[in-house]
Chain A
Amino acid sequence: MNGPGGASVTELFRALGPGLRLYARQWVDVSVADDVVQDVFIRLLSGGKVPNEPRTWLYRCVRNAAISAARSTRRRGRREQAVATDASAWFIACPEDRIDAHAAREAMSKLPSTQREILTLRVWSGLTLAEIRDITALPTSTIHDQLHAALATLRAQLEQSCRKTNPSTQTKSN
């Protein structure tokens, strides 16, 4: 089944699957995030028609499904806390990474949910501000401001963790 531009669902799954899973992880844990992504792709496959903007459509569906899944549990507060402090991998750690994956996850977990969502969509999904606006239904200016704030907070968090792990750097810089 091909969509606009000849992109098949399989190609979409390969290209967007990791980003969608990371996006769903903002609300739910790993297993539920996998289920959410799977359900959305099943809906896309059984629907028989790929929408005109499959990327935006998929992210919007994953967002709605993940929020619904998070709401469906009675222990929502405990679940959100567990998701935020979930130690399982958000990223695949590689030696070539310019940022430590664990530190990045720690820093991201301390961001407000809106900022974390926007940052995820912008950085790891490569969406434009207009596409993020379509998905989150937030004004573009708000998205822009939230993204600036998220980057500033993240930078501060990463620098702080860097100083903790490597105190000699701090001494030398001082």
Chain B
Amino acid sequence: MQENESFDADEIELMQSLGSLRPASPEVSEQTLWYQAGLHAGLRRARLWGGVAAAVVVLAVGMFAVRPGGSTVYVDRVVVQGVGSSVKPGTGSTSPLARSPVASIDYLRLRDAVEQLGMDALPQGEGSGDLSQPTQRAWAPQNPAAAPSPWDSLNTRG
């Protein structure tokens, strides 16, 4: 204690007398201290992982929102149209009945007529097909291949 040389004997004695007083201990046990430290460390780790998860979510949402949007691509459609045909651009269809525009229009007319008038509206077409009596064919099909379908008339009309 070289620093004590700068104090006189009375001061050193007073300091020693004061030093004999024992300060009160903290009202915290060592077990509490360790428990709190562990809890603190655990919470900090949980907070760290929570922050990482939040950052990932924000990044994902940001990437989804900021990604380049699909621009409208205009494609010139090439339509081959025969002379006298009533095909209009943009009415193409893959339906077998609608392959021919005329057939599709006829079909629609026929459908509307059947809805309004019933089976009588069906055409009494060529051949032996009688749509008003379908059961005859169903019960006794003589030659199904030879019997023309009423749909054939639709396809052959155009």
Q: A68 to chain B: which residues have CB within 8 Å? A: none
The answer, among A89, A99, A151, for a CB contact under 8 Å with B20, is: A99
A129-B3, A148-B11 known; A94 and B17 CB under 8 Å?
A: no
The reply to whether B3 and A128 form a contact with Cβ atoms under 8 Å apart is yes
CA distance A45 to B31 in the complex (A): 12
The answer, among B20, B34, B44, for a CB contact under 8 Å with A96, is: B20
The reply to whether B30 and A19 form a contact with Cβ atoms under 8 Å apart is no
CA distance A148 to B15 in the complex (A): 11
The reply to whether B33 and A41 form a contact with Cβ atoms under 8 Å apart is yes
Digitize B1-42: 1 where CB-to-A-CB distance is under 8 Å, 0 elsewhere.
001001100110011011111111111101011101100110
The reply to whether A45 and B34 form a contact with Cβ atoms under 8 Å apart is yes
Digitize A20-64: 1 where CB-to-B-CB distance is under 8 Å, 0 elsewhere.
111000000010011001100110011000000000000000000
The reply to whether A91 and B22 form a contact with Cβ atoms under 8 Å apart is yes
Q: A3 to chain B: which residues have CB within 8 Å? A: none
The answer, among A91, A101, A129, A151, for a CB contact under 8 Å with B14, is: A151
The reply to whether A91 and B40 form a contact with Cβ atoms under 8 Å apart is no
Q: Is A79 an interface residue (CB 8 A)?
A: no
The reply to whether B25 and A46 form a contact with Cβ atoms under 8 Å apart is no
The reply to whether B23 and A38 form a contact with Cβ atoms under 8 Å apart is no
A-B contact number at CB 8 A:
93
The reply to whether B11 and A46 form a contact with Cβ atoms under 8 Å apart is no
CA distance A161 to B95 in the complex (A): 114
The reply to whether A91 and B23 form a contact with Cβ atoms under 8 Å apart is yes
CA distance A17 to B26 in the complex (A): 6
Q: A155 to chain B: which residues have CB within 8 Å? A: 10, 14
The answer, among A30, A42, A92, A128, for a CB contact under 8 Å with B36, is: A42
CA distance A18 to B21 in the complex (A): 11
Q: Give min CB distance, B4 to chain A, whole Å.
A: 10
CA distance A98 to B15 in the complex (A): 11
The reply to whether B33 and A104 form a contact with Cβ atoms under 8 Å apart is no
Which of B23, B34, B44 is most buried by chain A, counting CB atoms within 10 A of its CB?
A: B23
9 residue pairs from A and B, CB less than 8 Å apart: A19-B23, A22-B24, A30-B27, A37-B26, A38-B26, A96-B20, A123-B19, A124-B21, A148-B7
Closest A-B pairs by Cβ, 9 of them: A45-B37, A22-B23, A18-B23, A91-B21, A98-B17, A46-B41, A21-B26, A42-B37, A92-B22
Chain B: residues with CB nearer than 8 A to chain A?
3, 6-7, 10-11, 14-15, 17-28, 30, 32-34, 36-37, 40-41, 44
Chain A: residues with CB nearer than 8 A to chain B?
10, 13-14, 17-22, 30, 33-34, 37-38, 41-42, 45-46, 89-92, 94, 96-99, 101, 104, 119, 122-124, 126, 128-129, 144, 148, 151, 154-155
Please give 11 more A-B residue pairs, beta carbons under 8 A apart, in addition to A10-B30, A89-B24, A155-B10: A18-B25, A21-B25, A38-B32, A38-B33, A46-B41, A91-B21, A91-B22, A91-B24, A99-B17, A101-B21, A119-B18
